[in-house]
Structure 1
Amino acid sequence: MKSLTLLILCCMMTASLSAGIPDTKSVSPAESPSDDGVFVKREEASTLVRQKRAGAADLSLAQLESLREVCEANLACEHMMDTSGIIAAYTAYYGPVPF
């Protein structure tokens, strides 16, 4: 019984490991990954990653307070508000900021 369990475990492990590894012999040189494509220049990366975010400076105190009141009705949103900020919590639970 132990040998059957061990055999099944080895078969499952072999199948899971071989599923994620591509066959390197069948990859043509044109498709092979190059070392140059892994790294990107800092300026190019910053333009790709940069996103427009609504910041707390863009909203007035009254607008932030109204977002806070909406978010306080949901306990999960309130917890996220305490850890990640009001903009992130409101956006995660209720969508984009309406103003």
Structure 2
Amino acid sequence: MKTLIILVLCSLAVLCVASDAATGPLPAGDINAQEGLFVERDQAATVVRQKRASGQLSLTQLESLREVCEANFDCENMMDTEGIIAAYTAYYGPIPY
């Protein structure tokens, strides 16, 4: 039974490779066929989800930032005076989520 399954999968792989080889590469003048694959940077920026503002972090996310910041003594002191978001950003860069 296992041999039959392996044989069927191998034959499907051969058929897929053969059908791709039969179509061949696109000619150089046929660039319009790939036009939908790439978009301009500004158009992509409008589609891609923007990062949330720092005030919209959940309690779990804030707690994970606090745990990272507590490992660094200077970051922990800054966290106590200026807040977790300012301290994390100052010592570790932008918030990853």
Higher helix share: 2
Tell me which interval the TM-score lies in, with the shorter structure as reference length. 0.3 to 0.5
Normalised TM-score (structure 1) = 0.44
